[in-house]
């Protein structure tokens, strides 16, 4: 039997979702929090369905959705993630992004509650994530307002964002990179949390390095746009 043209995308999304769930990045192992997607082409993506325990999913349950949110392929029973609009706007505005992990990880989410961005603290993390992990203002999950709020922050070309009172977004050129960026964000959020708890001044990276980080991220996005 010939392989369905979307099969590899669906399998990759499922594998990434299961790993994130098992590692505690999606809030609870029995729940259905968070969502994962991968770009298929310039107008569609594969994304997890809404409100289903990840351990109960199969690759056939992963939805293929157009950036206009039309359903291209599914199992006929499950609806695409309510956050499909959020994923869609990221792919449309950021040609360098080919995969997205929206998680409810603990330390990243802490900064969404105290409304505090995470500055550039380590060069190896910042070169991957960007010069600042910004806070995206709160809006109800799955709402058009949240899509607008996300779109408003994408121009900084970062690979990670914190959703106020919600969770985090990790972006990447592929699923492995998106998951790595979720891990790096959790690492730096944990360390920053501990450093803040000491009450002592926080040393951020030198301004020259922060400018270099920004230039690198801008260059990668510009290069991706040039390939369209």
**Alpha-carbon distances, residue 219 vs 39, 130, 149, 156, 171 (angstroms):** 21, 12, 24, 12, 16
Active-site residue 15, yes or no? no
CA distance 156 to 185: 16
Tokens of 119: 């500055």
Q: Which residue has the tokens 């790096």?
A: 184
Among residues 83, 151, 186, 223, which one is catalytic? 83
Which residue carries 């990179």 as its tokens? 177
User: What angle in degrees, to the nearest 10, is found between the helix axes of 144-151 and 84-93?
Assistant: 30
Q: Which residues are catalytic?
A: 83
């Amino acid at each position: 039997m010939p392989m369905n043209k979307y099969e590899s995308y669906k399998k990759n999304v499922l594998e990434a979702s299961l790993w994130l769930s098992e590692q505690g990045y999606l809030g609870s192992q029995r729940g259905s929090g968070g969502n994962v997607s991968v770009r298929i082409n310039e107008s569609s993506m594969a994304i997890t369905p809404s409100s289903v325990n990840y351990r109960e999913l199969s690759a056939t349950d992963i939805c293929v959705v157009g950036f206009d949110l039309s359903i291209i392929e599914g199992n006929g029973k499950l609806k695409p993630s309510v956050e499909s609009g959020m994923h869609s706007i990221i792919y449309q505005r950021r040609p360098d992004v080919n995969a997205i992990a929206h998680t409810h990880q603990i330390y990243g989410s802490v900064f969404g509650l105290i409304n505090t961005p995470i500055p550039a603290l380590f060069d190896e993390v910042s070169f991957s994530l960007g010069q600042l992990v910004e806070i995206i203002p709160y809006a109800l999950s799955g709402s058009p307002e949240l899509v607008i709020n996300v779109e408003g922050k994408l121009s900084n070309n970062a690979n990670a964002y914190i959703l106020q009172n919600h969770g985090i977004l990790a972006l990447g050129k592929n699923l492995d990179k998106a998951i790595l960026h979720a891990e790096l964000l959790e690492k730096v959020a944990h360390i920053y949390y501990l450093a803040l708890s000491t009450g002592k001044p926080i040393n951020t990276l030198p301004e020259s390095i922060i400018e270099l980080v920004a230039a690198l991220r801008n260059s990668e996005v510009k290069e991706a746009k040039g390939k369209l």
